[in-house]
Chain A
Amino acid sequence: MKVAVLGATKGMGRALARRMAQRGDAVALLGRDRGDLERSARDLEVRGGARVGIAICDLERPETFAPALEAAEMALGGLDTVVVTAGLFAAQDRLEADPELARRLLLVDFTNTVAFCEEARRRLLARGGGTLCVFSSVAGERGRKPVVLYGAAKAGLTRYLEGLDHRFRAAGLRTVCVKPGFVRTSMTDGLPTPPFAGEPEGVARRVLRAIDAGTPVVYAPAAWRGIMLLIRLLPRFVMRRVGF
């Protein structure tokens, strides 16, 4: 696999990039901090043995998208997979108190993520196809009190990925939409840990299998598939009462 990963400096992206490097995939890292990208690249190089390229790409700066993917294609000598784990999270209370932060979150998690995916889609299709794997969230499944804004952005992203998959699968572009449940990473550091919380390594194992198989939707950890099935079935008046 020749894969570019946006968001591998931390969390699930880091764990996924490690798994890919360890099994011998060629990896290029996209992210916003050069020093941090270099540290992550060294980590993958020791674990995997092969050189790891880096390129600056910031979801808040759409002008970085095309040059970053271009640089990744050069470093990898091709490109057949793009992974996006980058994203922004903030608690609903904070977002309500800070409209500027809310606007940024909607921009990063929806508009700019979609713009980045569009750039990746064009490049993959120009090469005859490939896999685009993007991390959305179980927060996009229902409108819920603690994740009104974040959930809305992720819901939009999920729908976009679904449409993309329907539209371009026949042309060779496989879209994998990952819906993590609660996973212990820097994003959730400090939050109380609910039942069925997962670890990035377990998520990475499951997601890599989905990428290999081209599975369009994957819940991780697996238990969240059943949990979300139940939550989707809950009538509206129940959702209005519960706190989660």
Chain B
Amino acid sequence: MAGTPLADRILAFESATGRLRAEAGFSLFDLNRVFLARGFCAPVAPGTQFITLGGMVAADVHGKNHHRDGCFGRHVTRLRMRVGDGTIVECSPEHECDLFRATLGGMGLTGHILEVECRLMPIPSPWIWRESERIADIDRFIEALKEAGPRWPYTMGWIDCLSRGRGLGRGILMRGRWAERAEAPSDPPRPRRRPAIPFVFPGWVISRASVRAFNSLYYHRHRTGVKRGIVHPESFLYPLDVIRHWNRMYGPRGFTQYQCVLPDTAGHGAARRFLELLTSRGGASMLCVIKDCGDEGPGLLSFPLKGISIALDIPIRDDTQSLVDALNELVIAEGGRIYLAKDAFTRPDHFRAMEPRLPEWTRIRRHWDPQGQLRSAQSVRILGDRP
């Protein structure tokens, strides 16, 4: 796996245009610290800030604003990379555009990203205006997401994926935007302390019963009707980052993540069918995240397409492989696909069935790395690379 956390310098920033150039290890955390107070934010709002520009390109990350602003790659203007034979190449949407498109979402397999140039977005204040609302079931959830999309830059929902029947897919919808200067507190938000999960919990802590209790509490704690107000940007943008080592909650065997997108063309019923399958298999996920996605972007292996994305944590159990297989079969039947950045179990034939773009991407990858120098554990599993 590639990475550059030690190369984290800002190389240039133009405040007139918001154009930033930095080494690929520059983190979103650092970006927020340096630029929010100056009136700029990252062009996408993923669920964690402990990621680097290089990782954001390699996974072509998307966030709560995907329905409006697309993936990170749409805002990247230039990349400097070291390709398989060691040469350094600059690429952009205009120059070596094949390499550029194959690198967005290419999971580092087209070359080592050294520098990233992108556009930041101007914001009126570093605070967030948030509204949240309790939603009774999956159909209403999708309607509410689609309805909020045109008016709100940031939308996402938490759903309780254990509740069945009439409450299938109930949850809390969040909508947000950057607060106007007049609404926001006058001082900048202070960095927040993060408590840590101190040790690995025993495996029984995350059981169906405890997750059911947690999800139900989370749902019912929110009163009916809409809650609104100004909140700290980190609490809205990165709710999971608040607790360090949250993965320890899942016990010694840990968990895997799973994220898929189901196209709008498959109809609302697709998300319902997905949740029905998931709940019938009893994959005890804590709250899972549902998100409205906009159109597919230029990245050749980028994950999102116009539809609804669902992301879950799945505690590792003996039957995890068969659960992922079953979910993937449903996703293929609905015309959707999975997110490589979160995947640890998908089978190669399933991936090929989801990705008609794969041959084109593979052709470009081979062109830039004919010897197959760049491989990962994931590319060995899914793309059949030699170990």
Contacts and interface: CB of A to CB of B under 8 A. Distances in A.
A is bound by B: yes
Interface of A: 10, 14, 39-40, 42-43, 46-47, 185-186, 189
Main secondary structure of the interface of A (DSSP, over half): helix
Interface of B: 6, 9-13, 23, 34
Contacts, number: 22
Contact of B12 (A10, A42, A47, A189): A42
A207 to B, nearest CB: 19
A186 to B, nearest CB: 5
Contacts of A185: 6
Contacts of B13: 46
A185 B7 CA distance: 11
9 contacts: A10-B6, A14-B9, A39-B11, A39-B23, A42-B9, A42-B12, A46-B12, A46-B13, A47-B34
A46 B6 contact: no
B99 to A, nearest CB: 24
A66 to B, nearest CB: 28
B6 A186 contact: yes
Given A42-B9, A43-B9, A46-B12, 6 more contacts: A10-B6, A42-B10, A43-B10, A46-B13, A47-B10, A47-B34
A197 B11 CA distance: 29
Nearest to A49: B38
Which of B9, B23, B34 has the most chain A CB atoms inside 10 A of its CB?
B9
Contact of B34 (A14, A42, A46, A186): A46
Contact of B9 (A40, A186, A189): A40
Nearest to B115: A39
A76 B9 CA distance: 22
A10 B9 CA distance: 10
Contacts of A39: 9, 11, 23
Nearest to A186: B6
A14 B6 CA distance: 11
A47 B9 CA distance: 10
A174 to B, nearest CB: 30
A133 B138 CA distance: 61
Contacts of B23: 39
A7 to B, nearest CB: 15
Which of A42, A43, A186 has the most chain B CB atoms inside 10 A of its CB?
A43
Contacts of A189: 6
Nearest to B21: A42
Contacts of A47: 10, 34
A42 B12 CA distance: 7
